[in-house]
Amino acid sequence: MSTSYNGWTNYSTWRVKLEMFDGQNPRDIMGRAPHDFYELADALQSQAYELIEMDGKGLALDYALAFLSDVNWQEIAKHQMADYAADETETDEMEA
């Protein structure tokens, strides 16, 4: 049985990308351009965990953290960087 969802590794990855990071520029997430997608993946994971831990408690927090443990952070980071590169190319072409 396949666990992929809408072209993503799994439902957790798709949902976190959609709800937490869709449309966000890697520079906005990190405050600067990431060196590579591994660095961005770490930043995405940290940001998501901080947000969940800030607002959650008890059993709900436990379930949310379990959900986040299934996320493929590197997949999200690769897509964020690819989207950002496409946006930069479009901006450069419009300014030329």
Average pLDDT of the chain is: 89
User: From CA 22, how far away is CA 19, in angstroms rounded?
Assistant: 7
User: From CA 48, how far away is CA 92, in angstroms rounded?
Assistant: 31
What is the model's pTM?
0.84
Q: How confident is the model at residue 1 (pLDDT cuts 50, 70, 90)?
A: low
Q: What is the DSSP string of 39-83?
A: HHHHHHHHHHHHHHHHH--HHHHHHHHHHHTT--HHHHHHHHHHH
Structure confidence at residue 20 (pLDDT): 95
pLDDT in tens, 11-56: 999 999 999 999 999 999 899 989 999 999 999 999 999 999 998 8
